[in-house]
Amino acid sequence: MEIVIVTGLSGSGKSRAMVALEDIGYFCIDNMPPQLIPKISEICTNGKNEKLSKVAIATDVRGGDLFYALYDGLDELKKQNISYKILFLDCVDAVLMNRYKETRRKHPLDDGMLGTQSAINAERAMLRRIRESADYIIDTSFLSPSQLKERIISLFLGDKRKSMIVRCVSFGFKYGLPNEADLVFDVRCIPNPFYIDALKDKTGLDESVYDYVMKWPQAQIYEKKLVDMIDYLIPLYIDEGKSQLVIAIGCTGGKHRSVVFSEILKKHISENGINVSVNHRDIDKN
């Protein structure tokens, strides 16, 4: 079981960090009262749900003095022989002040009398001990959201390609475009097996249909250019912080050519070590 305790200064990006952890497979619990952490860990350890094998828990000073119970909670985890990592998000005062001005939000320790700067100072004092104990410290002062996500992926996943999930969807234009598609490719320019009596009632999953579609020079060139384009685009999307990419490939009815090319693309992407699945939306339609 993997437990990550996410904490740090208010306004330093903990919510974005939790989103990034969720994108790479962590079950995320935000604003957890520290005294409940050992109980949650016990539930996760004793449970059989695979979703609870990687858990990220965000806790901070929003609970006021309750935050001091965090140290007791961590001691209890050690007694239970449950390992954990602490991710601490830091940020310089000037940037924090600017973020509060831009969002017009009040610091959780500001009671209306303290003021933002004094509240930040008080928070730093409260967090000093946990910062010194942190396994990882990320200064978000000058990081974009995508850069923060990349840092978290590099810490907890190693290979940032594993953070991307690609879904290939074959479809028929006669039934409309997939609403969730990020990229759409049209293979209606390839000769259609539908007009071959022996292939009409088969699909792109059948070897005979695949052989027919891919015997044409234009199909072979299309495959090469499609693969080159996807190989170029996926790293760009990953660097931008995108966690899911839907690639739709369409032909007329969604049974033959689009299925063949979706399967080809899925196989190629998988060989590059990226999580990928395929869905043939219209393959069973008449």
**Structural domains of the chain, ranges and CATH numbers in brackets:** 2-158 (3.40.50.300), 164-280 (no CATH)
d(CA 143, CA 147): 6
Highest mean pLDDT among 2-6, 58-62, 187-191: 187-191
Confidence at residue 206, expressed as pLDDT on a 0 to 100 scale = 96
CB 128 within 8 A of CB 61: no
d(CA 231, CA 178): 22
Least confident of 5-14, 160-169, 208-217, 270-279: 160-169
In terms of pLDDT, which residue wins out, 273 or 268? 268
Confidence at residue 48, expressed as pLDDT on a 0 to 100 scale = 60
Confidence at residue 16, expressed as pLDDT on a 0 to 100 scale = 92
Highest mean pLDDT among 1-5, 33-37, 193-197: 193-197
Q: Is the pLDDT of residue 47 over 60?
A: no
Confidence at residue 80, expressed as pLDDT on a 0 to 100 scale = 81
In terms of pLDDT, which residue wins out, 177 or 35? 177
3-state secondary structure of 6: strand
Give the residue from 278, 255, 250 showing the smallest Cα distance to 168: 278
Give the residue from 191, 198, 254 showing the smallest Cα distance to 217: 191
Q: How confident is the model at residue 45 (pLDDT cuts 50, 70, 90)?
A: low
Q: Is the pLDDT of residue 111 over 60?
A: yes
Confidence at residue 51, expressed as pLDDT on a 0 to 100 scale = 64
Report which DSSP code applies to 250.
E
Confidence at residue 49, expressed as pLDDT on a 0 to 100 scale = 58
CB 16 within 8 A of CB 24: no
Q: Is the pLDDT of residue 50 over 70?
A: no
pLDDT, mean over the chain:
87
- pTM for the full predicted model: 0.60
3-state secondary structure of 29: strand
d(CA 263, CA 204): 9
CB 131 within 8 A of CB 90: yes
Highest mean pLDDT among 41-50, 91-100, 241-250: 91-100
pLDDT tens, residue by residue, 202-212: 999 999 999 99
